[in-house]
Amino acid sequence: MSRTRAIRGERNVPGGAPVFQRMYTRLNCQGRPPQFVVEFYPYANLTHSIRLRGDTALARLSDLLRDAPLEILEAAAAILLARLYRRRLPREILNAYRQYSHGAATRRRLLALRRKRARPKVAQPRGRHFDLEPVFDELNARYFQQGLPRPKIGWSAKRWRSQLGTYDPALDQIAINCALDRPDVPPYVIAYVVYHEMLHQKHPMKLARCGPARAGRPSQVGRLESHSRAFREEEKQFREYDLAMKFLARFA
């Protein structure tokens, strides 16, 4: 047996094709169902994908689901099929998947997985016009009473289209869009973007619970909340917040 076939065999999802066939029928997808090939894939996140080529659909599920209950495999299949065939996803399926993926045990496993697989997104902290480490240190003293340990911080290796910055707790890393490293960008804008990511360091994502069920509507599992009320209130304490918002609104 070739090495490629051996790896394929290890990645095979037991009973994966029947799972997708059942969900294809349940979602009332139109037309003749394709031949499903379903495998686990070593993504760096809880990511799943599906690609349709002729009569074959290759579905890849994050190997984080290797020990997941059948209900969760069915939910992942339904999510992919609903996206591919533009079908409405039943709320109970989405709730089941959210409850599993947002659970504390799954989040711990995901962080451990990302520490092993995720690639660092940053280059050096010193750019052409701004050095991010002194910016972090000054903000830490002014707003956090030196309470935040400095993570790895640096400029992104490539220009990002939409994101200004990110904080990755698994890598303990702040990355700032290198598109901001320009002479026409005011220093307070750089400081604000770094400050925003420092708030993510201080306020980790948490599960936002929805209210109880109402008449005619089932209860819903909450979503992961990145910007809590406490986060937003503290964000507005940044001294040049309004100026930074005004500049970034027209930044391109």
Which H, E and C letters describe 79-144, residue by residue? HHHHHHHCCCCCHHHHHHHHHHHCCHHHHHHHHHHHHHHCCCCECCCECCCCEHHHHHHHHHHHHC
Distance CA 217, CA 102 (A): 22
Helix (H) and strand (E) counts in the chain: 9, 8
Res 226: pLDDT: 75
For 3-117, the fitting CATH number among 1.20.58, 3.40.1350, 3.30.1400, 3.30.2010 is: 3.30.2010
**Same fold for the pair 3-117 and 132-249:** yes
Res 51: pLDDT: 95
71 C-beta neighbours (distance < 10 Å), count: 12
Res 221: pLDDT: 40
Handedness of CA 23, 110, 45, 37 (dihedral sign): negative
Identify the segments of the chain with pLDDT beneath 50.
Answer: 1-7, 210-222
Res 127: pLDDT: 94
> 3-state class of 187 per DSSP?
helix
E strands in the chain: 35-41, 48-53, 56-62, 152-155, 165-168, 173-176, 206-208, 223-225
CA-based max dimension of the chain: 65
Distance CA 47, CA 65 (A): 10
Query: Where in the chain are the domains?
Result: 3-117, 132-249
CATH 3.30.2010.10 describes domain 132-249: yes
Res 215: pLDDT: 38
Res 5: pLDDT: 45
Res 206: pLDDT: 65
Residue 12's DSSP bridge partners are 39
